[in-house]
């Protein structure tokens, strides 16, 4: 099987297959995926040493707060 070459890699974590795939991501984005993309963008910038130490602390806490599990996620599912 021939391996398909990627069109791109957003924030070094989100593979793009082709230009249409980028359009699909944009046209189907909802709040949950928007937060995911923003988080990946911030993590990528952090890994590239874009932020100061103080900025990193603010960003780190912000990401933890945004990704804090909700009550529904914390409740175990019945077996």
Model confidence pLDDT, tens digit, residues 35-61: 888 889 888 988 898 989 898 888 888
In a domain, 59, yes or no: yes
Residue 63 belongs to what domain range? 8-70
Which helix H or strand E contains 59, and what residues bound it? helix 53-66
3-state secondary structure 9-71: EECCCEEECCHHHHHHHHHCCCHHHHHHHHHHHHHHHHHCCCCCHHHHHHHHHHHHHHCCCCH
Whether the per-residue pLDDT at 28 is higher than 90: the answer is yes
* Residue-wise pLDDT tens digits, 65-79: 887 776 666 666 555
pLDDT higher at 30 or 72: 30
- Does residue 15 form part of some domain? yes
| Gap between the Cα atoms of 62 and 46, Å rounded | 13
Q: Is residue 32 part of a domain?
A: yes
- If one counts the domains in the chain, the total is 1
Instruction: Average the pLDDT over 13-35 and give the result.
Output: 90
Q: Is residue 57 part of a domain?
A: yes
Q: What is the pTM of this model?
A: 0.65
Q: Is 12 part of any domain?
A: yes
Residue 42 in any domain: the answer is yes
Higher pLDDT, 12 or 63: 12
Residue 25 belongs to some domain of the structure: yes
């Amino acid at each position: 099987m021939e391996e398909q070459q990627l069109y791109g890699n957003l924030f070094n974590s989100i593979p793009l297959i082709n230009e249409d795939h980028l359009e699909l991501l944009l046209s189907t984005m909802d709040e949950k995926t928007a937060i995911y993309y923003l988080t990946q963008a911030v993590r990528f910038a952090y890994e590239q040493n874009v932020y100061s130490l103080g900025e990193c602390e603010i960003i780190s806490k912000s990401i933890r707060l945004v990704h804090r599990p909700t009550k529904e996620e914390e409740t175990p599912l019945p077996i």
